[in-house]
Amino acid sequence: MEFGRIEREIRIDATPEVVYEVVSSPEHLREWWPDEAEFEPVVGGTGSITFGDPASPEAKVEQLTVVEADPPRRFAFRWVHDKGVVAAPDNSLLVTMDLVASDGGTLLRFTETGFRERGWEAAVLEQAYRDHSSGWDHFLPRLVTRAESLVARP
């Protein structure tokens, strides 16, 4: 029985180059996951992602370290390690995005591992972000703003 690994696969009608940009650049990360993201998307790049209003004391800040950056094939990072420590298998979760060109689009293979090593506290923490990061109440306003800016474009 495997408790410690999440695996997903999704097909995207965009080139691996475009998908790579979306999964690795802090600007795009903010659109699909945290409210704020600051890191260099290069190997060894460290930084943070913030959930909630960064100005609020309620905001949750998590550390992130890029471990692989091989455009347009693979982007991998570790997160939830303590600030100032080197990300390692026993102190963080590893997220890997593998991109494979397929039929003019991209097959994105996602895995998140480390729940066994890092312990279930990390998974609890992951779930704690669920409500505000995956709800439509969070996403819809952004989508509308984005759509409006596209329409307004000459």
Partner 1 sequence: MIDDDLWSAVGDPTRRRLLDLLLTGNGGTATTLSEQLPVTRQAVAKHLGVLDRVGLVHALPAGRERRYEVDEAQLARAVAQLTSVGESWDARLQRIKRIAERVQRDRTADTDR
Residues forming the site for partner 1 (CB under 8 A):
1, 3, 6, 8, 10-15, 18-19, 21-23, 28, 31-33, 106, 108, 110, 112, 115-116, 119-121, 123-124, 126-130, 133-134, 139, 146, 150
Phi then psi for residue 74, to 5 deg, are -145, 135
Closest approach, Cβ 91 to partner 1, in A, equals 14
Measured between alpha carbons, how far is 81 from 151 in angstroms, rounded to an integer? Answer: 41
Closer CB to partner 1, residue 26 or residue 129?
129
Give me the torsion for CA of 139, 121, 27, 5, rounded to 10°: -90
Measured between alpha carbons, how far is 98 from 72 in angstroms, rounded to an integer? Answer: 9
SS3 at position 10: strand
Closest approach, Cβ 98 to partner 1, in A, equals 13
Closer CB to partner 1, residue 22 or residue 88?
22
Closest approach, Cβ 45 to partner 1, in A, equals 19
Closest approach, Cβ 134 to partner 1, in A, equals 4
Specify whether the CB–CB gap between 78 and 65 falls below 8 A: yes
Closer CB to partner 1, residue 12 or residue 88?
12
